[in-house]
Amino acid sequence: METGPDLTARSILAGEASAAAAEVEAALSTSPDPTAAAFFDVDNTVVRGASIFHLARGLYDQDFFSARDLLRFTWQQLYFRLAGSERPAHVADARESALALITGHRVADLAVLSEGIFDEFIANRVWPGTRALAQMHLDAGQRVWLVTATPVEVARIIAARLGLSGALGTVAESIDGVYTGRLVGEILHGPAKAVAVQRLAEAEGLDLARCSAYSDSSNDIPMLELVGDAWAINPDLGLRRVARERGWHVRDYRTGRRAARIGVVAAAGTGAAIGATVAGVAYARRSGQKKVPVRWASRR
């Protein structure tokens, strides 16, 4: 089993790799307010549900992997997300199941397919309230970055589709344009996000005291603590409590939800999403339907 220090070292490496991958994009853009920026978590902050599940569903439709792989992935990711655990074994399971999605495939193919996956599964799940907050920063002349455990190639597509500046995401190793099945460091999760934001701020001359960060999860408290303007969006119980204690902004775009029920409902929602995916696979297998590839690359 992996030790805590090993996991911490890889988390630092993951954050540094993500910031390095984003620097190229950042260098190509200018901003009227170059020392301030906003950082947005994606899952349940910008997008309802987990973007990695939408990615898995889309890639399965494109025959990237088998139904058995999809089932294994969904249950491992469900456990990781509902447990909210930083235990090395749980992180390792989530890492391995996520890597199974892309190992042996071309980076360019994932980027192209991700455009269609966004249009098909993600675009209509963007929270309008969070989108308005991001636009507020853009209108103020600040850059806006997504910060997510989703593969950086997918995160960039989401950012581009939303008109944002760029994305910090999990960096998967590739050789000659093909994914090797290894990560550079670790999944961009928890403390790794804070490292990525800090390294990007250093490289781009950002004043973190003038920056903002947005998240739904208590796992992202290290990132929220870095900035001068922290926001809890659709927060879980842990983050809601910390936000109240520290006077952070709180916005909840979920209707009809009381604080005492948030954790239970969020878990049920994630379970329902996975249940729908598994049910779809089961139906396809029972009916003997053949998946028809969608020509997403031609969509604009």
Cβ atoms of 44 and 213 within 8 Å: the answer is no
| The two three-digit tokens of residue 249, written as one number | 């902004």
Q: Give the Cα separation of 188 and 185 in Å (integer).
A: 9
Residues in the chain: 300
Clarify whether 229 is annotated catalytic. no
The torsion defined by the Cα of 64, 67, 70 and 74, in degrees rounded to 10, comes to 160
Q: H or E element: which one contains 174? A: strand 172-175
Q: Which residues pair with 215 in a beta bridge?
A: 232
The torsion defined by the Cα of 100, 105, 109 and 115, in degrees rounded to 10, comes to 0
Please name the residues in contact with 266: beta carbons below 8 A apart, sequence gap of 6 or more: 44, 236
Query: What are the start-end ranges of the H helices in 28-168?
Result: 51-61, 67-83, 88-99, 107-117, 128-139, 152-161
Q: Give the Cα separation of 64 and 116 in Å (integer).
A: 14
> Catalytic one among 6, 43, 69, 207?
43
Cβ atoms of 168 and 193 within 8 Å: the answer is yes
Q: Give the Cα separation of 209 and 6 in Å (integer).
A: 30
| The two three-digit tokens of residue 189, written as one number | 């999760």
> Catalytic one among 6, 33, 41, 236?
41
Other Cβ atoms less than 10 A from the Cβ of 225: the count is: 14
Q: What region, left, alpha or beta, does residue 299 occupy, with left being phi > 0 and alpha being psi -120 to 50 degrees?
A: beta
Active site residues: 41, 43
